[in-house]
Structure 1
Amino acid sequence: MDTTAAPRRQVGIFSILSESVYVGMCNKIGTPQQVAARRDIVDILELFGNQHAVRGLMSSGSRKEGFRFSDSDMDTMFWQHNHRVIWDFSQSEYYNIHRQVMILCDSSESPAGFTLLWLPLERAEQGVLMLSIVEMNGGLYISSSKYRENACASVYLDSRVHGPCSTSTERLEGYYTLDHDIAHCFVSDFWPPSASSWIDRCHSWPPPHVVNDIVRNGCHFVAIGHKLGNHEDNEWRISFSLAEHKLVYSMNHTQFLTYGLMKLFLKEIINNGLGEEDKLLCSYHMKTAVFWAIQQNTLPHWCPQNLLVGFWVCFKLLLKWVYEGISPNFFIPENNMFLSKIHGQAQTSLFRRLYGLYEKGITLLLHSPSIRSSIIDVLCNPRLTVCTDEHTLISEAEFDVKLFLEICTHDALIINRSDLQHCKKYIQTIEQLIETQQTSDLQRCMKYLHTIEQLIGSPLSQYHVISLQKHAATILQSTAFILHNMCTNTGVNKQVYIVDKMYCHMLELAAKFGLVPDMLYIAMYFYKTLRYREALSVIEMTKVKLAQPYLMYRRVDRERYTEAVGGQSWSTKMRQAVAWEIKLINEISYISELLPEQQSSRQNKEPRLHIPPFVLLHMLEFLCSRHIDTMRTQTALDDLQVLLHSDQGLFVPYYYRDISWEILGICQQMAGNLQAALCSYQQSLGQVSFNEIQTATTQRIHDLHIPT
């Protein structure tokens, strides 16, 4: 088979085609700055979560790599800190064997890339580990199938088995869902001896500091055996997930887009129209092909003008593997990843399919909806000039929209470095209160605040800082309401004044760090403590900010936004020009009027209510005005009703209309208009059930005592 020929195109046209596809891929996958921001936001959350975790955790999957396809998955690996896998007994000297469980690899009877995990010392421990032990060859081994079953069953109820993982479907924001794979695994601080040849291969890529970092961090073991091995139910696969992410991070952007192009090629062309059982190739094969192509230095210059050349190199390598029936693992080449699935008739059929695509040349990408237009533009205008400069590909406003979407979606948190000192005295006051009122929620909030303090002193990127700033706001808001709900009125005016002042300062500080609608947490606190005029004053200030024409709320007027805050820091932009949904954590009481909805949502396993800020603003204005200004009460109710009836998704996203109609009904019921309240509650039941409040809505309808 001759796969040495390049697609038949003139060099000039091919270069322009590559540049056009590069621009199209930047629009589809992200510019270098966008990808860097995504990675930093995910990485800081992982770092934050590991500071006080009782077990190790590591994010993986395509979302961590920087992709945001609709089907990009989210993977998380968990392992016990006190369990360590070693490759020989001599490595046990680095551990306290009385405190840590030593697990020894036994690869003597396993295919390359797999191993048995042997417990050389019998332990009297209980739990998942001991429930997963089997006897083999006179020794105690950890069964991968039993461990996977026991670990997943002990934590996750609504999940399904997917390879070595327990998979569940999670919602991020709005209607957006993704599959979340949870893998319970073991960790080794040592690089596998079977992968030592990989170190020797790294002459040109990755650079030495990346190689050293990868080797120094060892590997993991996930609970799945080789289908053709002698001990499939008991074997463990050596996982290089951490190493792979470091490799992806070390790619330049053209290489990363080549990887993305291979993923699209797989999804939209190779696997298009095939059933799940017929999809023999997966994204991991594409990633491996890109790794090999880069390391073998087949293409000296990975740049926008060579993007399609790089793609063709990877495609030819994949075609060669299918022809030979051998796909060598990047770290352990002896591990043929085609061995159990791509052979015989299946291999022959796949090769014919791929070779048919190969014969089309680069025009095969016309079959990809994501790439087609980039190629057609050049074919229709061969003299087209394409600019690949990042700053021309996305405007400041467009970048900011996607950045804040990313931050809010991941609910990230941290304090601006310059404001840290200002916050410390409140942290100390919280510590004193926690000493007298011990609760797990408060202790967790305290740990988070300390983690923020520690992270501020470490080297942080600009994306780390802005995402952690939002995280700090969330923690301060939660802590203030938790403490207030626990606090009992001692009757001592001075003490009541001091703690109240502290809660107000925490919420003001959170508003200073957070988004524009975070001021509404202050209004909720004032309403909760019967200070209606003060609450209305905050509501008025918030209303003015939310009415600004440059406000960014899921979309933005680019010109007005740039004119108002263009060139300023993201911290300033977030405080002055960015809005997002208010998220009420269902474990915390904010205002009594929404407790039934929080309880219903919590019973349906939703952690929080998502309320559009404009809806909550009108609700709070209505609630506060009832006590001091009857005319304003009706105006607030009218404004809320007009908003719900006339909005086309601009201020009330349709997937949050369940809680929005519910809130209108609550206000109408409190105003005495029971028939209107009934109509609003029925409207709420007819919406997409995002907040899972149907139980509360049904009960409210029942309590109206109106025949339906």
Structure 2
Amino acid sequence: MYHINDYSHNISLRLSEVLGDIGVNETMVMKRRKIHMLMETMNTITIRLNDRNETIFYPGSQSEGSTTLGLHSDIDILQCFNNFNVIQDWADWKKGKTNLLMIQDNNTTPGYCSLQQLGTNVPLPVTDVRDKYHIRDINGRVLLKNDIQESIIPEGGQIHGPSIATQVKDGFAATDSALALLCVSWPRSALDWLHYQESDVWPTQEIKQYAISSSCYVVPVGSKVSIDSQIEWRISTTLAERCLMFNLNITQLRCYVLMKMIVKSYLNLNGENNLSSFMCKSVVLYCVKNIESKMWKKCYLMQCLTICLLQLYNCLQREECPHFIIKENNLMAGQFTADEKYNLLQTINLLVQKGGLGLLGIKIDDVGQRLKIKLNIIPQAIHYPPSKLEISKDVSTHLYLNFSKNNNEFQKHILYDTESLSICIQRLMKYSKEGNKLEQSACRFLAPKLFTTLGSILASSSIGQSGSISHQALTWYSTGLKSSDVSDRLKLASMFYCTGDFGRSEITLRNIAQQFNNDVTVPLCSCYENHLRKPNPDFFEICNDQNESSLQQYIAYCVQFLQSEINCVPPELRYEMFRSTQDDMRHHRNEHLDYWMYWAVVDSLPFLHFLQYQIYSRLQKHQDQQQALNDLIWIIDTNENLRHKETDLNLLGQLMEQANRLQDALKCYMMSLQIRSRNNAARFHVCRLLATLASRRFT
């Protein structure tokens, strides 16, 4: 039995409560893991459906559950290209693959390797330097440089080590995307960790075997102490590390989170980043291995944290922090100047001497203030931070909005990239039948949009031929509609409207309006950057109480019509498919980000009121028609979460034209152009309207 004084016991318990309150508890950790594992599976399936042999992983703090809202952790994305064949033995060479021989010699930094280019058709080294991403070394070998990732940097991305970082978009988490190449087998330096036998020590052989069953990759970054860093690739065992993190208990995770907060609050100041989260992770893993498991309880949290800080202190003194799996890889090599090292050592020493009092200055997630309140150092009446329930709501909402936004983005990428939607659906169904539970769950989120889109394409074709919707089209659409969102129900109403079936369209719109809760439903879209305003408090309640499946009924994605669905689109909205001039196409559109501009895309709620106006006009329900117009104007004026307001204004302007309110129509178009001056159909509407006004003036 371990003996600790009452003060240490009390501060450990209170500190554990604080971490639990800010979201580092079993419930929220599992929720984070579930959502990010599901997103990485959906991302991989999206890519595979379009014949790209890649695998996506979301390693790091978000998927581990080792973060908080206040830490502002990026979503790490590992984009693994499986067409590359990174080998250690010639026997693993494969015809038709991009074969790369892993080289580790006396000139290579431990934990890194060079990649020699081999032939695709014959197992021989390549002798010619084919492009700027290859170089010949002093031994005459043609090596692949690690700056190859420059060729895949998205607009707005910046290279940070092996990663391509993109800034926060739409008020959601930023992403850190790293290119990775699959290794056929684990490097021998990493295998030493597996074969090192220790009895009754974490990680057990079972955990090691499970960890090493995951793939190993190389990522394009060289060591800071390398004499030729441009030809080095870092060996990444990130999936095995994630497995280890999944096997930590909640106290061990809390200790890691505290380490990251301490580094961010006291050690990495003035924009410095000498101590990384990965160093903290390695330190904590070593401590988990060396400290008896009985110590990792909430009543010993302060002692465990102190041991981790002392371990970090010792690593700094030696300037040696070994990678947990590849021990020869020194994570601190070349990281510090003498002055930086001295200052860091002094700060850590002071924190250890202060004990728990050193945590009182942490402002991240109000940890210091929360601890003061728990210890009765300050009265609760001064300022009480958000409660555990409020934090739980915030975390859940943040997670589910990120998930919903990514779900929408994955669906759009499938629709944009695929050449044959029916073949794509067949592949998805195969995943759903033969895949694991995670893949089956991912398919349930991706499939409805594909079904309804195929149904809409077939409907557009039959409307063009006969003016009606075919039975086959309705069957496909109905299949997807069973678990689809409000945007697809609006498309169905639009299909009926375009065939002149105003009665069925009205019924569909009435059902949508009854389900659409303005106080809860959140408009969501991933087309372009636009800050998301804070949802209604009721939405936070729903996110906390329900799961990602049931949440979809409270999300209103933008309504998207492909050009192949044009006969299902009201004439007023078809202009959006041709929004760009030739100059816009050449200079003001990014083909990778703005592909949706080939489509007609509109916010759900304004489109609902637009269709209501048109339907009630046809049915001679003038009072309902006026109410629909008033609702449309009110939504455009007051809803700050609309993502395609320029299109909403274009629709409103055309309704004003139909009502012969030409000055109001012109005002709508000018407001639309203020929002988006380029790639906006309002420019055509303005020209047409001015021509109409001019003709009236001279007649």
**C-alpha displacement of 1:112:** 0.5
- The amino acid that maps onto 1:18 is L
Aligned to 2:108: 110
Confirm whether residue 668 of structure 1 aligns to residue 649 of structure 2.
Answer: no
Aligned to 1:543: 513
Which 10-residue stretch deviates more, 539-548 or 296-305?
296-305
Residue 555 (structure 2) aligned to one of 571, 579, 587 = 579
Q: Deviations over 1:333-357 (max 9, x none)?
A: 2221111122422212222233333
Aligned residue runs from structure 1 range 313-324, under 5 A: 313-324=307-318
Over 3 Å counting, the alpha-carbon distance change for 1:502 and 1:368 in structure 2 is: farther
Q: Deviations over 1:636-667 (max 9, x none)?
A: 1112123334x3x5xx5266655544443343
Over 3 Å counting, the alpha-carbon distance change for 1:620 and 1:364 in structure 2 is: farther
Aligned to 1:511: 481
Distance 2:110 2:354 in 1: 37
Over 3 Å counting, the alpha-carbon distance change for 1:580 and 1:440 in structure 2 is: closer
Q: Is the 8 A contact 2:129 2:136 kept in 1?
A: no
**C-alpha displacement of 1:618:** 0.6
**SS class of match (1:580):** strand
Aligned to 2:373: 377
Over 3 Å counting, the alpha-carbon distance change for 1:545 and 1:101 in structure 2 is: closer
Aligned to 2:383: none
Q: Deviations over 1:226-285 (max 9, x none)?
A: 23223222121111222222222333333333333333333344334x13xx32112222
Q: Is the 8 A contact 1:87 1:192 kept in 2?
A: yes
Aligned residue runs from structure 1 range 142-291, under 5 A: 142-149=143-150, 151-152=151-152, 156=154, 158-169=156-167, 171=169, 174-176=170-172, 178-183=174-179, 185-199=180-194, 200=196, 204-272=201-269, 274-275=270-271, 278-291=272-285
Aligned to 1:451: 428
Confirm whether residue 332 of structure 1 aligns to residue 326 of structure 2.
Answer: yes
Q: Is the 8 A contact 1:449 1:472 kept in 2?
A: no
Aligned to 2:437: 460
Distance 1:62 1:471 in 2: 25
Distance 1:560 1:46 in 2: 28
Over 3 Å counting, the alpha-carbon distance change for 1:129 and 1:54 in structure 2 is: farther
Residue 478 (structure 1) aligned to one of 450, 453, 473 = 453
Q: Is the 8 A contact 1:190 1:217 kept in 2?
A: no
Q: Is the 8 A contact 1:581 1:611 kept in 2?
A: no
Which 10-residue stretch deviates more, 124-133 or 365-374?
124-133
Q: Is the 8 A contact 2:19 2:25 kept in 1?
A: no
Confirm whether residue 637 of structure 1 aligns to residue 626 of structure 2.
Answer: no
Distance 1:666 1:74 in 2: 42
Aligned to 1:557: 538
Distance 1:414 1:117 in 2: 32
Q: Deviations over 1:161-215 (max 9, x none)?
A: 32233444463xx4336244242x3221211111233222675333434322332
Confirm whether residue 85 of structure 1 aligns to residue 64 of structure 2.
Answer: no
Aligned to 1:594: 573
Residue 680 (structure 1) aligned to one of 658, 668, 685 = 668
Confirm whether residue 32 of structure 1 aligns to residue 29 of structure 2.
Answer: yes
**SS class of match (1:31):** helix
Q: Is the 8 A contact 1:22 1:307 kept in 2?
A: no
Distance 2:448 2:294 in 1: 47
- The amino acid that maps onto 1:584 is Q
* TM-score of the two chains, using structure 1 as the length reference: 0.78
Aligned residue runs from structure 1 range 601-640, under 5 A: 603=589, 605-608=593-596, 611-629=602-620, 631=622, 632-640=624-632
- The amino acid that maps onto 1:475 is L
**SS class of match (1:300):** helix
Distance 1:24 1:525 in 2: 49
Q: Deviations over 1:399-427 (max 9, x none)?
A: 87566434312217999xxxxxxxxxxxx
Q: Is the 8 A contact 1:29 1:260 kept in 2?
A: no
**SS class of match (1:111):** coil
Over 3 Å counting, the alpha-carbon distance change for 1:477 and 1:217 in structure 2 is: same
**C-alpha displacement of 1:74:** 3.4
Give the gaps of 5 or more residues in structure 2. Answer: 381-387, 524-534, 695-699
Length, aligned pairs only = 642
Distance 1:126 1:676 in 2: 70
**C-alpha displacement of 1:45:** 1.2
Which 10-residue stretch deviates more, 539-548 or 27-36?
27-36
**C-alpha displacement of 1:107:** 0.9
- The amino acid that maps onto 1:322 is L
Q: Deviations over 1:357-412 (max 9, x none)?
A: 3333222222222112320221227999xxxxxxx858998887566434312217
Please provide the CA RMSD for this pair.
Answer: 4.2
Distance 2:604 2:441 in 1: 21
Give the gaps of 5 or more residues in structure 1. Answer: 1-5, 385-391, 416-437
Over 3 Å counting, the alpha-carbon distance change for 1:71 and 1:14 in structure 2 is: closer
**C-alpha displacement of 1:542:** 0.8
Residue 531 (structure 1) aligned to one of 501, 505, 525 = 501
Q: Deviations over 1:589-645 (max 9, x none)?
A: 562433444555993533548754322211121233333325133221112123334
Aligned to 1:351: 345
Distance 1:327 1:236 in 2: 19
Over 3 Å counting, the alpha-carbon distance change for 1:106 and 1:36 in structure 2 is: closer
Distance 2:360 2:650 in 1: 48
Over 3 Å counting, the alpha-carbon distance change for 1:661 and 1:28 in structure 2 is: farther
Distance 1:570 1:225 in 2: 40
Distance 2:419 2:128 in 1: 28
- The amino acid that maps onto 1:477 is T
Over 3 Å counting, the alpha-carbon distance change for 1:349 and 1:402 in structure 2 is: closer
Over 3 Å counting, the alpha-carbon distance change for 1:703 and 1:481 in structure 2 is: same
- The amino acid that maps onto 2:659 is A
**C-alpha displacement of 1:556:** 5.5
Aligned residue runs from structure 1 range 386-535, under 5 A: 401=397, 404-411=400-407, 441-444=418-421, 446-460=423-437, 468-485=443-460, 489-490=464-465, 500-535=470-505
Distance 2:62 2:657 in 1: 44
**SS class of match (1:322):** helix
**C-alpha displacement of 1:332:** 1.6
- The amino acid that maps onto 1:668 is M
Distance 1:414 1:586 in 2: 16
- The amino acid that maps onto 2:572 is E
Confirm whether residue 19 of structure 1 aligns to residue 16 of structure 2.
Answer: yes
Over 3 Å counting, the alpha-carbon distance change for 1:522 and 1:298 in structure 2 is: same
**C-alpha displacement of 1:299:** 5.3
Residue 55 (structure 1) aligned to one of 17, 28, 53 = 53
Q: Is the 8 A contact 2:144 2:231 kept in 1?
A: yes
Distance 2:239 2:540 in 1: 42
Distance 1:308 1:703 in 2: 72
Over 3 Å counting, the alpha-carbon distance change for 1:600 and 1:566 in structure 2 is: same
Over 3 Å counting, the alpha-carbon distance change for 1:694 and 1:263 in structure 2 is: farther
- The amino acid that maps onto 1:557 is D
Confirm whether residue 341 of structure 1 aligns to residue 368 of structure 2.
Answer: no
Distance 1:546 1:122 in 2: 56
Distance 2:88 2:369 in 1: 52
Q: Is the 8 A contact 2:522 2:555 kept in 1?
A: yes
**SS class of match (2:36):** helix
